[in-house]
Every structure is written in C-alpha cells, then in structure tokens.
Chain A
Amino acid sequence: MADKEKDIVVCRCEEVTLGEIREWIAKGYDTFDELKRVLRVGMGPCQGRGCREIILREISKMTGTPYAEIPQGTIRPPAKPIKIGSLAEGGDR
C-alpha cells in the first residue's frame, strides 16, 4: 500500500510524486515554499491549484502541526497565464 502511494503524482504540472514530497518533508523542507523551491511543485501553469492542499495536508500529517497553522505559501500574479503577445500588443489600447 505504502509503495503504491509513493508513486502517486501530486503535482501534475511538474510531475512530482508523493514519495518525493515525503522524502523532502522528512529532510526538514516542511513548508510549501521550500518544497516549491526544491521540487518545483506549484510552479507550473496551474500555480499550485491542484497540489497545494494535498501537500499542506501531507506536511501536517508528517510534522504534527495543525493544518490551519501551516503557511499556505506565496501565491503570485498573474491569476491566470497570459500570452506574451497579448500583453505586448494589447498594452496601448
């Protein structure tokens, strides 16, 4: 069971597995932003919409810190990916 869980892809944008996330939490990378920096979780086109909550729950389980007390990590603009061409050509209108 545990072995199967290991291969579950948690961050689909960057193809990061639960096993990798657990490995780095165990090394002390127990905030979303540290995991983001080391594994790229949440850096893809969805910007963490798919994986953030799963990862925060995993941190909570492994560290014993209540879910509500774990920083949710930085959410950066833009809210949705924007094409370079749209920004470059649309700016003056």
Chain B
Amino acid sequence: MTWKNTADYVIIGGGVQGCALAYNLAKMGAKDVVVLEKDTISSGSTGRCGAGIRAQWGTEMNCRIGMDCLSKFENLTEELGMDVGLNQCGYLMVAYRESEFETLKESMKLQNRLGINTRVVTKEEAYSICPGLNAEDAVGFTFHDKDGHADPFLTTFAYQEAGKRLGVTFHKFTEVTGIKVENGKIAGVSTTKGDIAAPVVVNCAGGFSQHVAKMAGLELPNFSERHEIIITEPVEFGVCPPMLMSFTGNYYIQQRPHGSIIGGCSPEGHPEDYKYGNSWQFLEKMAKTIHKLLPRTKGIRIVRQWSGLYNMTPDRQPILGEAEDIKGFFLSVGFSGHGFMFGPTTGELMAQLILGKELSIPIDMLHYRRFATGELINEPAVV
C-alpha cells in the first residue's frame, strides 16, 4: 500500500474501537482517515475477547451505552453489509451470595428505570432458560433477553470493509513509535513505516493505550490485565443457550451459533500484565467450572486456549474525550473488558466529538479528569 505522509485523522489501533471510529468518521463526511495497526486488524483485545454484549450494567453511563450498542448491533449486519454473527440469547446472571444478589437487584432497578427489561428469575425459570444447568448453590438470578454475543472478528472486519468503501486507509504491521506535539497541539505521528503529519490523532490502542498516551506526554491511570479463555469444538447448538455469567462465581460461558463453547474468568489478584500467554492452571480451573455448571459438557473437547488484555481504569468505565493540554489528541481507551460490546456506540460518539457534532449520549463524565477530581462512579459489574 502506498504511503502518504499527511492525513486529516490518524487512528492508532485496529481493534473494534479504531475501526468503528474510522467508519463513523468517514460516514459523517470526514476525508483522509488513516488507521495504524501494529499487527493485523482485530489481533489485540478485540479479537481475543469473550464476544459478549449486554445492557446489564451497574452504572447509568454503562447502561446507556450498553442499551445503545444492543440496538446498533441489531442493525449492524445490514448497515455494514457483512454478517457480524449476532446472537441475542440473553445473559443469565448467577449470584452465589446474598450480597451479590442484592447488587444485581439494585442494578436491575437502575436498568429498568432506563428501559432495560432485566428481570429476576427463579431457579426453575433459570433451568428452563438453560436446560442442563446445575446451579443448586446459587441464591438468585437475573436475566435480560436482549443481551447476547456477536463475532468480534467479523464485526471488526465489517467495519474495516465498510470503512474502505468510504475511503479509509488501513495500514497493518505499522507500529506507532512517537507522537509529535507542537505548542500544545498534535502535529503527527512517527511509525515503523514513516511519519504522518496530522492535526488529529486518536488513541484506540486497547491494552497498550497508556503507553501510546505517554508518547504524547500524557500519563493515564489505566493498566492492563491478562485474562485467559478457552473454546471447545463445535457441538450441537443448545448445550449452553444463554450467556452464563457470575461475578463471585468468576465466569462467563456461552455457545456461539457455530456450536463452539467459549469460557473465561478473571485472573486471581488481577496483576498488571502486558504479555499474551496461557497456563495449564487456567485450563484446569475453567474445565472444572464448566463441568460443574453444565455437567453434560464432560465429553466435549477443548480445542484452543488463548489470552487477551483488559485495559482497566480505576472505576472500570472507559476514558473518552480530548486531552486537556494537547489539542487534537483524542482518547477512546480503558474499556475494562467491555470494549468490543461498546465499540459500535463509542465509535459513533467519538466521531461526533471529534467532528464537533452534537453527541447522541453525553460523555463529559467519561473524561479522564474525573480521576483528578475524584468523581468516580465504580462499575460493580465486571468479570
């Protein structure tokens, strides 16, 4: 691909955030949008994620974004002209402690007030939503039938293909090595392929976003955690009809329409980590969790395990906005494990912000200045 050393908008990171933003910028009329990806599109956190999409959140901001992203996903295949593999099977939240169930019910009240029809279900109902489930030790369940999952690869590629049709340029194997700031304004980026002068640079670098921010002299309080995950061979659909998720149980398990079952959990102690790696300890732990919850999976084979980075912020809500002292430097980072599901919405919101349009959901409170002023609203609903 030919190299051009100027652009109007440079996006760092070819995950769902970068690709959705590029598409939305071009759709709103922006010209000369360039996406820089150090590996290949969807090779980082997006392509490694658990694929879930939900509106069952514990803060108003995340509920609003979650609700909007569900409706966007419902129309995405049509809008982008490529199947994104949506399956709205519902999320069945499983609580094993009374205090956890109380938190779920508190969140449900908030969700209901915002128009998200989450409900408490009895154990009998839970077992009819997920036949074969063994949750005798659970104390309560909530369910939202519009939640579900989509294919992170296809979604990101669909944005890439739609973006290309609108004139967006994608450079893979192109790593950003420096960000130029002159007189408090963005001047451009340096990369392993050459320099690009640009007045707007957007940090969509996922697990490495704080390293990229530092290139512009900006310190962000986020850090990354490595989360592991497994997938089984494809089996008959219906082994795990909903997404099963629990915070104290520490798991999420779902079956893709294609038949494979995906399962993951949080690492113990949540250590800061930037490497992708796999452990047999996780493989054994996750197999035990799935086996206990869905005993009939015992003859199903695990074919692959991998890991990815959650880019965590102190309140587990994303950082969206423009840097305070660096005009033209925008941030769409810190998604704390739910960047894929928020992508269609935050990609649109960031494009609106960058182009100076009216925002469809106000995102002022997601600016990183909240960490300095202490205006944090902690999101309780993260696995």
- A-side residues, CB < 8 A to B, are 27-29, 31, 33-34, 37-38, 40, 43-45, 47, 76-78, 81-85, 87-89, 91
Contact = CB atoms under 8 A, between A and B. Distances in A.
Contact of A31 (B40, B287, B291, B306): B40
Given A37-B157, A45-B233, A87 B300 contact: no
A83 B302 CA distance: 6
Interface in B90-142: none
Interface in B134-179: 153-154, 157, 161, 170
Q: Could you say which interface size class chain B belongs to?
A: 20 to 34
Contact of A85 (B43, B47, B154, B291): B291
A40 to B, nearest CB: 8
Contacts of A89: 291, 298
B288 interface: yes
B51 interface: no
B303 A81 contact: yes
Nearest to B297: A84
B250 interface: no
Contacts of A47: 303-304
B290 interface: yes
A84 B290 contact: yes
A45 B301 contact: yes
A29 B42 CA distance: 12
Contacts, number: 84
Nearest to A88: B291
A81 B284 CA distance: 13
The listed residue with most A CB atoms (<10 A of its CB), out of B154, B284, B302, is: B302
Contacts of A45: 233, 301, 303
A87 B40 contact: no
A83 B304 contact: no
A81 B301 CA distance: 5
B304 A85 contact: no
B55 interface: no
A52 to B, nearest CB: 14
B305 A87 contact: no
B300 to A, nearest CB: 5
A26 to B, nearest CB: 13
B29 interface: no
A87 B290 CA distance: 11
Interface in B294-331: 297-306
Contact of A84 (B153, B154, B291): B291
Nearest to B283: A87
A21 to B, nearest CB: 15
